Amino acid sequence: METARPVHPLLTDLYQVTMAYAYWRSGAARLDACFHMVFRSQPFGGGYAIACGLAQAVEYLEGLRFENDDIAYLATLSGADGTPLFPGDFLEWLSQMRFECDVDAVPEGTAVFPNEPILRVTGPIAQAQLVETTLLTIVGFQTLVATKAARVCYAAKGAPVIEFGLRRAQGPDGGLSASRAAYVGGCVATSNVLAGMRYGIPVGGTHAHSWVMAFDREQDAFDAYADAMPNNCVLLVDTYDTLEGVRHAIETGKRLAERGHALIGIRIDSGDLAWFAARAREMLDAAGMRHVKIYASNELDEQTIEALKDQGAPIDVWGVGTKLATADGQPALGAVYKLSAVREPGGQWEPRIKVSEQSVKTTIPGVLQVRRFVKDGMFDGDMVFDETRPLGERCEIVDPGDPIRRKRFCAQAHEDLLVPVFRRGERVYDVPDASAARARTAEQMARLDPSVKRLVAPYIYPVGIERELHELRTALIARARRLG
């Protein structure tokens, strides 16, 4: 019987396995390779992204094994002529394979930008190739949702945001991954109970309209819910008439107070949220219930929240579901995983480049690292450089999309973003929990200039290629085009 694995090794594209076989058969499997994961443009038209998904990626790589059932399935696959796609000796090799690569990555919660590596895999080429699809789907999706959450929380200007998109998420795994990523991105809680258990995320929620509809009177429904949940009572007030619902909630709040408890809040899920929240605040305050918080939901996203904040809507807690868990407005991060160098075992790295008629798809060669420069405690710009080439005093970056745009960072404080995660297949990194990753997001957001965090027309944060690496890249492009 199949035993549960965190991420199944066959969660991949067939061409990863066919390439691994071709490397093995041709003898190229002896080569070491360097692959980088990057994304090419900012999601949501924003100015930054928040890296997420490394924890699950580590879990996947640590458990990477092709078990008997996996091998038996691969043995059933056939080519166009009806013969087996993979010979038995390759499948035997695959069954004995153990992950032996080095992995370096930016920690979860790090602010990242287009054209810079967020993850690097170096090691035997067949192994480094096999993990491509799985790493892309893990890190790409979670980075997307964490970024959306950071934008939503930024729009909320410090007010708590609760994620409750599970019912609208892309399946159970999508919902679970989205809940964790949303928390890393800045949400204070989730409605997803399994995410709470698995990742230590605070859970929260109210009740549905169906609770009110199950009773003959709304007042009876509120009173019964308060009896059941006297220490966790938030009432949904818009089932029939929102302001009448507020009046009923006030009455329930008075009953709770008589028993030594307090009504925590009311939730408005429809209508003109700014207007209803203002009226509800007036009614609650007049009843001596200034402590009762107003929760708002209803297809919220960062733009809607920002607009409501600008109107002065007295909303204390934001519930964001569909548009957060589905990363509404950006169906995919568009991350890619590209070969950038190869070498014979024990030899020197040889840079490789992929050239395209679309300049954005032309890759950066080498074994790459990202250096982030800091000025007065704020992030000032990032340099992509080849760490096998001594950097010395070189400190000038070139914009890969516009070589005329350059910037120098000499004598500035800096940090290198890619940290060791695996060495020869052994984990050397203590994976921070979701709370620590969330704290890193907050720290990183605080060090981004407000112009970069704007929801509309943000400032383009400087990211470039170290000047000598840019010159090598230009020469390799010219050479590749001649060969082509």
Summarised one tens digit per residue, pLDDT across range 463-481 is 999 999 999 999 999 988 8
Q: What value does the CA radius of gyration of the chain take, rounded to a whole number of Å?
A: 26
- Show the tokens assigned to 158: 């410090």
For position 5, what pLDDT does the model report? 67
The DSSP 8-state label assigned to residue 232 in this structure reads S
For position 4, what pLDDT does the model report? 54
- Show the tokens assigned to 50: 């928040």
Read off the amino acid at residue 183.
Y
Point out the residues of the chain with pLDDT beneath 70: 1-5, 484
Distances (CA, A) of 103 to 242, 287, 301, 453: 54, 59, 35, 30
Model-level pTM? 0.96
Contact between residue 393 and residue 385 where contact means Cβ atoms under 8 Å apart: no
| CATH topology classification for 146-325 | TIM Barrel (3.20.20)
For position 215, what pLDDT does the model report? 98
For position 1, what pLDDT does the model report? 30
Contact between residue 7 and residue 138 where contact means Cβ atoms under 8 Å apart: yes
Please count the other Cβ atoms lying within 10 Å of the Cβ belonging to residue 361.
12
DSSP 236-259: E--SS-HHHHHHHHHHHHHHHHHT
Place of tokens 């458990």: 63
d(C-alpha 275, C-alpha 358), whole Å = 49
- Show the tokens assigned to 240: 């029939």
Contact between residue 113 and residue 48 where contact means Cβ atoms under 8 Å apart: yes
| Residue burial 47-86, b: 16+ Cβ < 10 Å; e: rest | bbbbbbbbbbbbbbbeebebeeebeeebeeeeeeeeeebb
Please list the alpha-helical segments (H only) found in 259-399: 273-286, 302-310, 322-325
Burial of 292 (C-beta count, 10 Å sphere; 0-12/13-18/19+): buried
Find, among 281, 283, 275, 299, the residue nearest to 251 by Cα: 283
Write the pLDDT tens digit of every residue in 175-231. 999 999 999 999 999 999 999 999 999 999 899 999 999 999 999 999 999 999 999
For position 484, what pLDDT does the model report? 62
